[in-house]
A and B are shown apart, each in its own frame.
Chain A
Amino acid sequence: MNVWGEQLMNALVIGSFYSLIALGYSMVYGIIQLLNFAHGDVYMVGAFVGYGVLSAMSGAPLFVGLGAAFLFASLATGLLGLGVERIAYRPLLQSSRLVMLITAIGVSLVLENGVMLALGPSFRVMPVELPRSGLSLFGADVTYAQLAIIATSVGLMLLLDAFVRRTLYGKAMRAIAVNPTATALMGIPVHRVIALTFFIGSFLAGSAGVLAGVYYGKINFMMGFIVGLKAFTASVLGGIGSLPGAMLGGYLLGFLETFGAAALGGEWKDVFAFVILILILTLKPTGLLGRTGTERV
């Protein structure tokens, strides 16, 4: 049996969730310098929408249900991101960063407590169960669910990378990150591009929410809090504002946590994440791949 191979898979799964969420943090920060602390709760909403879809489609075959839940929840959370941007952040774009930050915390509280009021504080159990089957890779037992999560996450990240690098909207996003005023003067609809950024970021968080919800099977209204903080750590680790940095940071954090917990004990998992956050903020505030002052997205 290959215990390190299994730990590697554990790390890749956790890292995939962190990366997907960290991307949203980084994109939003890159474009409007907002630390969107409500992002973890968008992930939570994604899990709940997925739960709703799966419950409604309980008769359908497993993969049809999962596919529908994934698509529907990602789109719904993308739209939620649009709404949040329109209601909470757009009116404040000209105000100080602190005002936006506090608003983000407010949005986070509204989402958490809104879900709690609507659906109750107790745990919900996803109505589907993933098959336990899998294969043996170099002596490590790997389930198909783990492989599917990693593949889906990497696929989404590659799509995002292509979008930002190769499309006109991607170019506009990068332009706003460099200089929003000049971009607006060039006739680019800045608000629309910012809204699009929120949509994409929330879409990714929502998809992570569905994947994690189905993978772990248990969801509740606070599930986004810790994960949000970890993803924030991941994006800082990689260099907030940098997309490759967010992906790298997410996986790196997954590795550090998993191997740290394996070596020292499970209770040290969070300690690793937050010690890293402190170290990076103190020693290299721009993160591993971040640059100061220049292009961000």
Chain B
Amino acid sequence: MKRRSADFSSVHPAPRRLRPGRRTITGLALLAFVLLGSGFLSACGGKTASTDGPPSGQTAGEATGGSSGGEILIGVQSPTTGSEAKMGQDINQAIELAVEELNAKGGVLGKTIKLTFADDACDPQTATAAANKLVSQGVVAVVGGYCSGATLPATGVYHQAGIPMVVTAANSEKIPAQGYPEIFLVNGTTKHQAKRAAEYMVKEQGAKRIALVHDNSAFARDLAEATKQEVEALGGEVIAFEAVNSDENDFTPVISKLKSLKPDATYWTAYYSAGGLFIKQFKTAKVPGIIGVGDGANDKMLVAIAGKENAEGTFITMSPSAEFIPEAKAFIERYYAKYGEEPGPYSALSYDGMRLLADAIERAGSTEPAAIVRALRETKDFPVFGGTITFNPDGTIQKSNFIVVVVKNGEFALP
């Protein structure tokens, strides 16, 4: 999450020199996107529409290449090379599993689903090429999308071709903000996370006085600001809205200040490495109240940096990963039986995204992309792990799917 959202939103203070890998990649991706993304995107979009001719858009109404021969061709976009390759593999495997199960039950509209995979390498430029490849293969819909930075330009290509995409992991607010009617996000965005965090602190923990701390990166600040609104909407009071420099190791001035304000709950919206230190200094200074972190800090290193004793009881808001959803137990077992490994953090969402798409095609009664878009839009209370999906007009989910887990004995666990 941190990376997908951060890809283009976390404009960290100008990189001074070589930074640690994750951030460097984020920075490079950002730079590449800013410099090339928009220009490249419009050029490609134009090309698809004029010279190549979009196979599926052009032939809308007749049987398309994607649905002929008793097969429905669905594209999967995910990063299977580069730093996020593991995430892409998790997503692809979950989607494959879903398709295998759907086909075993007789497929969709009496046809079998066939997948075609395209690697976006978590890179905006590669993603645009991958999206064009899927479009030219004649897919009727696309599922996947992990890195927001890569998914964003790709959605433009699908929009041009009129092909629906079910985005299963990427969750930047910028994707729905484009206003493309074909794009649906099954993962919650910043707003959903803020809502869940505020509910947990104010309603479930009875906290009245909330402190919010971010690191001035766009992602963390957005989450902090959204949380402030949600906390106030629930009748809580935001007594501190602080920023720190995440390059620093010493947050004690801010922490001593928090201590004097006596918050009931403190919520850190930035990343795990500074977050771990913040928790450590927070506990050492004996600041009252509970402390929690956003999904940017959803990393086991958080506990290592904070120290097991200090991290105990910290709450974390995160996208639903299969290991924390009781109903997903059977899914985990089937996944393990097929692949010999545990599902990744976004496997459950991707599995659900594929099932949702198949359901929409069934309801549409047609493999025509426009009909699938309409059916997706009309999705009502589609059951997924940990909840149901109904879409807002902008293609985001109505109910927050974020969950809260708590550190217990050094491990993340359901509260």
Quick one: which of A1, A14, A116, A259 contacts B259, CB cutoff 8 A?
A: A1
How long is the Cα–Cα vector from A125 to B283 in the complex, in angstroms? 17
Q: A1-B260, A129-B309, A218-B305 are in contact. Are A123 and B20 (CB under 8 A)?
A: yes
> Which residue, of B243, B244, B259, B284, has the highest number of chain A Cβ atoms within 10 A?
B284
Chain A nearest CB from B256 CB (Å) reads: 4
Q: Are B260 and A265 in contact (CB under 8 A)?
A: no
> Which residue, of A14, A225, A265, A266, has the highest number of chain B Cβ atoms within 10 A?
A266
Q: Are A125 and B245 in contact (CB under 8 A)?
A: no
List the A side residues contacting B257 at CB < 8 Å.
3, 262
Chain A nearest CB from B313 CB (Å) reads: 15
How long is the Cα–Cα vector from A222 to B16 in the complex, in angstroms? 10
Using CB atoms, name the residue of chain A closest to B284: A132
- Judged by a CB distance under 8 angstroms, whether B415 is at the interface is no
- Judged by a CB distance under 8 angstroms, whether B5 is at the interface is no
Quick one: which of B213, B248, B276, B286 contacts A269, CB cutoff 8 A?
A: B248
- Judged by a CB distance under 8 angstroms, whether B238 is at the interface is no
- Judged by a CB distance under 8 angstroms, whether B99 is at the interface is no
Give per-residue flags for A9-50: 1 if the beta carbon is below 8 A from chain B beta carbons, else 0: 010011000000000000000000000000000000000000
- Judged by a CB distance under 8 angstroms, whether B277 is at the interface is yes
Chain B nearest CB from A4 CB (Å) reads: 9
Q: Are A226 and B17 in contact (CB under 8 A)?
A: no
Using CB atoms, name the residue of chain A closest to B274: A218
- Judged by a CB distance under 8 angstroms, whether B18 is at the interface is yes
How long is the Cα–Cα vector from A222 to B13 in the complex, in angstroms? 15
- Judged by a CB distance under 8 angstroms, whether B251 is at the interface is yes
How long is the Cα–Cα vector from A125 to B301 in the complex, in angstroms? 9
List the A side residues contacting B285 at CB < 8 Å.
6, 141
Please count how many residues in chain A sit with their CB below 8 Å of the partner chain's CB atoms: 38
Q: Are A122 and B244 in contact (CB under 8 A)?
A: no
Chain B nearest CB from A27 CB (Å) reads: 25
Within 8 A of A (CB), among B14-47: 16-21, 24
Q: Are B243 and A267 in contact (CB under 8 A)?
A: yes
Using CB atoms, name the residue of chain B closest to A133: B284
List the B side residues contacting A222 at CB < 8 Å.
17-20
Chain A nearest CB from B104 CB (Å) reads: 42
Using CB atoms, name the residue of chain B closest to A226: B247
List the B side residues contacting A220 at CB < 8 Å.
20
How long is the Cα–Cα vector from A220 to B19 in the complex, in angstroms? 10
Q: Are A10 and B21 in contact (CB under 8 A)?
A: no
- Judged by a CB distance under 8 angstroms, whether A121 is at the interface is yes
Q: Are A261 and B253 in contact (CB under 8 A)?
A: yes
Q: A125-B304, A218-B305 are in contact. Are A212 and B249 (CB under 8 A)?
A: yes
How long is the Cα–Cα vector from A132 to B309 in the complex, in angstroms? 10
Give per-residue flags for B256-294: 1 if the beta carbon is below 8 A from chain A beta carbons, else 0: 110110000000000001001100100111100000000
Q: Are A125 and B20 in contact (CB under 8 A)?
A: no
Q: Are A226 and B248 in contact (CB under 8 A)?
A: yes
- Judged by a CB distance under 8 angstroms, whether A65 is at the interface is no
- Judged by a CB distance under 8 angstroms, whether B101 is at the interface is no
Q: Are B260 and A216 in contact (CB under 8 A)?
A: no
Q: A121-B20, A218-B277, A225-B16 are in contact. Are A266 and B243 (CB under 8 A)?
A: yes
- Judged by a CB distance under 8 angstroms, whether B252 is at the interface is yes
Q: Are B250 and A217 in contact (CB under 8 A)?
A: no
List the B side residues contacting A6 at CB < 8 Å.
252, 256, 259, 285
Q: Are A109 and B17 in contact (CB under 8 A)?
A: yes
How long is the Cα–Cα vector from A13 to B252 in the complex, in angstroms? 10
List the A side residues contacting B53 at CB < 8 Å.
none
- Judged by a CB distance under 8 angstroms, whether A77 is at the interface is no
How long is the Cα–Cα vector from A109 to B252 in the complex, in angstroms? 30
- Judged by a CB distance under 8 angstroms, whether A7 is at the interface is yes
Q: Are B286 and A141 in contact (CB under 8 A)?
A: yes
Q: Are B254 and A266 in contact (CB under 8 A)?
A: yes
How long is the Cα–Cα vector from A6 to B273 in the complex, in angstroms? 24
List the A side residues contacting B260 at CB < 8 Å.
1, 3
- Judged by a CB distance under 8 angstroms, whether A183 is at the interface is no
Q: A112-B17, A218-B277, A220-B20 are in contact. Are A14 and B245 (CB under 8 A)?
A: no
- Judged by a CB distance under 8 angstroms, whether A223 is at the interface is yes
How long is the Cα–Cα vector from A123 to B249 in the complex, in angstroms? 12
Q: Are A10 and B245 in contact (CB under 8 A)?
A: no
- Judged by a CB distance under 8 angstroms, whether A103 is at the interface is no
Using CB atoms, name the residue of chain B closest to A260: B253
- Judged by a CB distance under 8 angstroms, whether A74 is at the interface is no
Q: A217-B305, A226-B247 are in contact. Are A267 and B216 (CB under 8 A)?
A: yes
How long is the Cα–Cα vector from A47 to B280 in the complex, in angstroms? 19
- Judged by a CB distance under 8 angstroms, whether B386 is at the interface is no
List the A side residues contacting B18 at CB < 8 Å.
112-113, 116, 121, 222
- Judged by a CB distance under 8 angstroms, whether B222 is at the interface is no
List the A side residues contacting B276 at CB < 8 Å.
218
- Judged by a CB distance under 8 angstroms, whether A152 is at the interface is no
How long is the Cα–Cα vector from A116 to B21 in the complex, in angstroms? 10
- Judged by a CB distance under 8 angstroms, whether B410 is at the interface is no
Within 8 A of B (CB), among A122-178: 122-123, 125, 129, 132, 141, 143
Q: Supply 13 A–B pairs (Cβ within 8 Å), ascending by A.
A: A1-B259, A1-B260, A3-B256, A10-B253, A122-B20, A123-B20, A123-B273, A132-B283, A216-B249, A218-B249, A223-B249, A226-B247, A266-B242
Shortest Cβ-Cβ A-B pairs, 5 listed: A261-B253, A10-B252, A267-B243, A266-B244, A3-B260
List 11 extra interface pairs beyond A7-B252, A262-B256, CB under 8 A. A3-B257, A10-B256, A112-B18, A121-B21, A122-B21, A212-B249, A217-B307, A225-B16, A257-B253, A258-B253, A270-B245
